[in-house]
Structures are given as structure tokens and as C-alpha cells.
Amino acid sequence: MSKHIVVVDDEQSIADLIEVYLRNENYIVHKFYNGTQALECLDLQPIDLAILDVMLPDIDGFTILKQIREKFFFPVIMLTAKVEDMDKINGLTLGADDYITKPFNPLELVARVKSQLRRFQTYNQAGQVLLQSVEAEEELDIKGLVINNNTHECSLFGEKLSLTPIEFSILWYLCRHQGNVVSSEELFEAVWGEKYLDSNNTVMTHIARLREKLKEPPRKPKFIKTVWGVGYKIE
């Protein structure tokens, strides 16, 4: 079955180019030049992946990404002319799965689309198997931190936490391995389903964001603790 992909870019030539390359790969493309129409589409049509430009005339890409992550789990690739590290970090912490800057090679973009769709499908299949094998552990309660893998809900001392799908997956994996140290490599490959690179700071960025949401003191975190040179653990 063909995958449905949303493409949002106010530069029509770029949006049209992406559409051509994706259609050549038999993807069904929903193309928009502004964010408002794209958001309307998400409520009408099941989507498998989104490609979002950051700079749009009505709603910026980060705002669209945030709204997507409130409802959906599909992969999102951010597309922008900006190259600042903070822009990339903002996108990742809000729940983006990949980030590519303009100008770009359309073939590289297509390759990343395929990679994200493959990863998402693999992760979902693995998640279903895991869910079936740990039915007794659908919900964990660790010192007031309650996380439910069935409903994808998490609360801290009764207060609901708003987590992105990636943040939830990281926290659930750490909670399931309570008392054990989980390396950055293991955590990345378990959650993202891709090979870990030594220079990859993605895990560290998401851990920092999780600690903020858990209201963790930087020097003495109560939940997610760093074991220097090894990884992270929840005691």
C-alpha cells in the first residue's frame, strides 16, 4: 500500500520538486504552501510521514511539529535553510525525527524518507511484540512516576506529563530496565532503530529535555541518573 506523505514548503519550486521525486517512488503526496492547510489535512487523511519547512508565511514549522506531536506518532523531517545548532536542537526536542538543510540533494531527501518509514515500521512491529510479551508491565510506578505503555500516558505525582513519542519511548525503556545502566548506544538503537554513531548527541539532548519535564535538579536528579562514561539509569 502506498504511503501518504505531507510536504509543506512556501517555496513552490522546492515543494514541486519534492513532490516529483516522491511520486516517482510511488508515494502519495499531499502538498501545501502554508501550514494552515497542512494541519487541516492531518485531521482528514491518515499520514505516514511529514516534511516540514521551518519558515512559513502563516505558522512556523516548529509550531506545526508541536501540534503534530500532540496527536500523531508518524516521522517528521524538518526542512530549512537555517544551519544553526539551536534550530536543530529545537526540532529534535519537539519530536522531529530528522533534519535536512537547503540546498539539498533530492535523492538524499528520498533516501531519508525511506529510512524514516522503514525505522517507523520496524519500531512499531517491535513495539507490538514487546507489548504482547510484557503485558504484566503495561504500567510502571517508580517513586511517583507512573508510565503506561498501553495508553502512552505518563504522570508525576498525579500531574500528567506532556511527552513526545520519542521522549516517552526513552523513559519507558529506562523504566523497564530500572536499576540497570543503559548506554547511550543501547538506548539510541532501541528507540530510534538505527546504528549509533559516537558523535551522536541526540540521546543527551532528549535526556536533558526529559529531565526538564520531570523537574529534575541538574546536580542531583531523582529519576534519570547519569553514570559517567557508561550511560543512564533509573533506580
Distance CA 174, CA 168 (A): 10
From first to last of the 235 residues of the chain, give the pLDDT tens digit: 789 999 999 999 999 999 999 999 999 999 999 999 999 998 888 899 999 998 888 888 888 988 888 778 788 998 887 666 556 666 666 778 888 888 889 999 999 899 888 877 765 554 444 444 444 458 888 888 899 988 888 999 889 988 888 888 899 999 988 889 998 888 888 887 777 766 567 788 888 888 888 888 877 888 899 888 888 998 8
Whole-structure pTM value: 0.59
Is residue 205 within 8 A of residue 96, CB to CB? The reply is no
Q: Pairing state of beta strands 4-8 and 49-53?
A: parallel
Helices (H), the chain: 12-24, 35-42, 61-69, 85-94, 106-133, 165-176, 184-191, 202-213
Cβ-in-10-Å burial (0-12, 13-18, 19+) of 63 comes to middle
